[in-house]
Structure 1
Amino acid sequence: MDQRRLFYKELVPFAAMVAAECATVGSNTGFKAATARGLSYYVFTLYVCIVAAAALIPFAFFFHKSAELPPNKISFFFQIVCLSALGLSCQLLGNKGLEYSSPTLSSAISNLIPAFTFMLAVFFRMEKIDLKRSSSIVKIVGSAVSISGALVVVLYKGPIVISNPYSPRPKQLGLLYPNPPLDSSHPQPNWIMGGLCFVFQYLCNSFWYILQTQIIKVYPDEISVVAVYYLIQALLTAPICLIAETDMNAWKLTNPLIFLFIFNSGLMGQSFVAAIHTWGLNLKGPVYVSSFRPLSIAIAAAMGAILLGDDLHLGSIIGAIIISIGFYGILWGKAKEEELKGLEDACGLESSSKAPLLQYYKLEEA
């Protein structure tokens, strides 16, 4: 029984979160390759939202849980609209940041999410800090260490450790990168602008985790919530992207590879990731879900080297090691808190079961 509980409560969420990080990095890599082939940033964003909504609506219809809507339906619907607006902001900022930089930088700065989420969770009283407990101290230190590792990745590039064999010098080209790039109007690399976009993206992402956790508490039907979320997000995205991209020819998809990138980003990078994160938020909470972000730096470095022609630098390796130390520190702190909570609950049940017996003896003595 304990092994089965460990499997469903610990191992399955761990594997699901790792798969979600792989899907996120794969989506970012696909976006970078698609825009290098001339696809508009706004076209990609809208089509991905439509694919995500179309993929989730049938699942919501067939796997709908019998959960009752909260009494205040207007407030509940407004929360989902706000959630969709936050998701749209994340996607627009993230895609714009990728235009200026790379998936590796995105994954590096995404390590700010555990710190952002932890601070927001404390602010909204979803997490408690007890400086007398080692678990709280380790979580704080682990968040700081993860952020330090992300800064190392961004600020210290270092010498090339692994050079991509597919890319001729001096231009770095990969398996998914066209030779030469087809989009001459593509923004020039600007890592400062890209980094700022990612910082605001992951701040919005942290708010998304907090709000989504509150929504799932009052309406625990993850698939239906995510399906409605993407449907509203597509409706919000359509006017923005149609106004921003007025060239009707840009909306025609003629390259099958670009269609594959959009389908993968909508199905795996958006709907699959959102469903897994929503399920994880309901099961484990926002800090647990956000603490898996540091893993994406190693995944992005590997995908970038193979698929986009990025070289692997020493700074990425050192930063990934530092990030991993902080990452496991956060997980240890969460596991320790769960263990202490379980012991406290067990002690509470034991004391409550003994109370009526003590009262019975007192009555007998009277």
Structure 2
Amino acid sequence: MVNKNVFPFVGMVMVVMSQSGGMVINKAAMSDGMNKYVMLLYSYVISTFLLLPFPILHYFSRSDERTTTLTFSSLWSFFLLGLIGCSGQILSYVGIELSSPTLASAMLNLIPAFTFLLALIFRMEEACWRDLRTQAKVLGTAVSIGGAFVVIFFKGPAILNNTQSTTLSLQFSQQVNWILGGFFCACDSFLGALWYIYQTSIATKCPELMVMVFFQSLFSTLECALFALFAVRDAEAWLLKLHTGWLAMLYQGIGANVIRFILLTWCVRRAGPLFCSMFKPVGIIFTVFMGAIFLGDHFYLGSLVGAVIIVAGFYVVMWGKAAQEDKIDIHYLESASCNNNVPLLQKNTA
């Protein structure tokens, strides 16, 4: 009998590989002269058109029970979600252009730490400071943020492809770009955590999942278009040329935005968010090797040390979260067993 987590395991490996591949392809397209804002806008346009059938099928469905009327409140929520997501993507593209996909992949592991901090601020997370679980999450958050500073400020010698011979001024310029890129990627992770928090808070008033995804993509497209029109004044930058920019746009629009999200949503529903979040550090491995093979990127000692620290903090946070969930489940079972009207073993109606 096949283990129930085999397919989610394969699915999450594909999700991580697609995200890492997207970073590497985007970096290659930027190096080939493709404007990052134009590339992001075109990828959003592709995603929006691919998602367009879902709201059409939803609102022309014969089942009135599943049809949810869109209100101004829900549209405003989608607008804000799109704005947060679009802003994070822009920061991510800038960070990748200034630094490397490896650094961007390492910064993604800050999302659980930022999510925990935001959950505390918005009172979505319980904080019992004497409890070992809370202490573990706080410690893991601090360790992850500390690891991020190591990645950003301690570049160190190159471990892979250590054949560079640059001048002192060029090395200083590269170091400044590396630091700025790290901060942009860290800001992207913060917005990613904010996106998770806000999405959770509005989950009760959102319609069907794919309809929500479509409107977020639509608003992201409009918001990115307004930003790109002000940021890109060169008319030639908007012309579609036959180079890696085409591949990056198609890959990002179809693979990274649509297929990856659908696959990730299925894995979360099948195996739970904790199982899926454990795959984030795997992305660093894929990004390092893909960047070295296809881009000739250097892998620096600071990235290795900082990534190890971030991953260690990440798993400490996940342990504290898992232990807290186990405590809640045990408390529920004990309460249920004490209630004669609630059987301990519920019948599965799924």
- What range describes the TM-score normalised by the shorter chain of this pair? 0.7 to 0.9
User: Which string of whole-angstrom CA distances, capped at 9 and with x for unpartnered residues, describes residues 133-191 of structure 1?
Assistant: 33322222222222233333333333333327xxx7548xxxxxxxxxxxxxxx99712
Check if 1:327 corresponds to 2:306. Answer: no
Partner of 2:4: 7
1:133–1:219 distance in 2 versus 1, CA, 3 Å: same
TM-score by length of 1: 0.77
1:69 aligns to 2:57 (yes or no) = no
CA contact (8 A) 1:295 1:324 kept: no
SS of 1:7's partner is coil
Match of 1:143 in 2: 141
Task: Tell me if 1:250 matches 2:245.
Answer: no
Deviations 1:111-148, CA, capped at 9 Å, x for gaps: 32222111111222222123343332222222222223
Residue 17 (structure 2) pairs with residue 22 (structure 1): yes
Contact 2:43 2:252 in 1 (8 A): yes
Q: 1:147 to 1:19 in 2, by over 3 A?
A: farther
AA at the equivalent of 1:77: L
| Shift in Å, 1:46 | 0.8
**Matched residue, 1:362:** none
Which residue is equivalent to 1:191?
178
| Cα separation, partners in 2 of 1:193 and 1:324, compared to 1, 3 Å | closer
Among 94, 108, 118, the alignment partner of 2:116 is: 118
Asked if 1:41 corresponds to 2:18, the answer is no
2:188 alignment partner AA: Q
Once residues 210 and 318 of structure 2 are traced to their aligned partners in structure 1, the CA distance between those partners, rounded to angstroms, is 26
Kindly indicate whether the alpha-carbon contact (under 8 Å) linking 2:103 and 2:303 is maintained by their aligned counterparts in 1. no
Answer whether contact 2:113 2:317 (CA < 8 A) is retained: no
> Does structure 1 retain, via aligned residues, the 8 Å contact 2:274–2:322?
no
Aligned match of 1:229 in 216, 220, 235? 216
Is 1:347 matched up with 2:334?
A: yes
Task: Map 1:248-327; keep pairs closer than 5 Å.
Answer: 248-275=235-262, 293-327=280-314
Separation in 2, partners of 1:52, 1:346: 44
Q: What is the Cα deviation at residue 92 of structure 1?
A: 1.5
- Secondary structure of the residue that 1:190 maps to in structure 2? helix
Pick which of 90-99 and 12-21 moved more: 12-21
Distance 1:61 1:14, change over 3 A: farther
Q: CA deviation at 1:205?
A: 1.6
User: Relative to structure 2, which stretch is displaced further, 109-118 or 315-324?
Assistant: 315-324
Aligned length: 332
Measure the CA separation in 1 of the matches of 2:283 and 2:195.
19
Q: How far apart are residue 22 of structure 1 and its match?
A: 2.8
Structure 1: which amino acid aligns with 2:87?
S
Aligned with 2:159: secondary structure? strand
CA contact 2:82–2:217 (8 Å) conserved in 1: yes
Contact 1:68 1:219 in 2 (8 A): no
Corresponding residue of 1:161: 159
Higher-Rg structure is 1
Contact 2:55 2:214 (C-alpha < 8 Å) held by counterparts: yes
SS of corresponding position for 1:131: coil
Contact 1:51/1:266 (<8 A) preserved = yes
Contact 1:117 1:290 survives alignment (8 Å): no
The alpha-carbon distance between structure 1 residues 139 and 283, as it changes in their structure 2 partners (threshold 3 A), is farther
What secondary structure is seen at the aligned counterpart in 2 of 1:310? Answer: coil
Between 135-144 and 86-95, the greater mean CA deviation after superposition: 135-144
**Structure 1: 5+ residue stretches without partners:** 172-186, 357-366
288 and 79 in structure 1: CA distance in 2 versus 1, 3 angstrom threshold = farther
SS of 1:158's equivalent in the other structure is coil
Match of 1:130 among 120, 128, 131: 128
Q: Is the 8 A contact 2:19 2:256 kept in 1?
A: yes
- Aligned partner (choices 87, 90, 94) of residue 89 of structure 1: 87
Counterpart code for 2:157: P
Q: What letter is aligned with 1:231?
A: L
* Seq. identity, %: 35
Moved more, 282-291 or 24-33: 282-291
Structure 1 residue 240 and structure 2 residue 239: aligned? no
Which residue number in structure 2 is paired with residue 175 of structure 1? Answer: none
Distance in 2 between residues matched to 1:285 and 1:85, nearest whole Å: 27
Q: What are the Cα deviations for residues 249-284 of structure 1, in whole angstroms up to 9, with x where unaligned?
A: 322222253211111111222233444566677789
Pairwise CA RMSD: 3.4
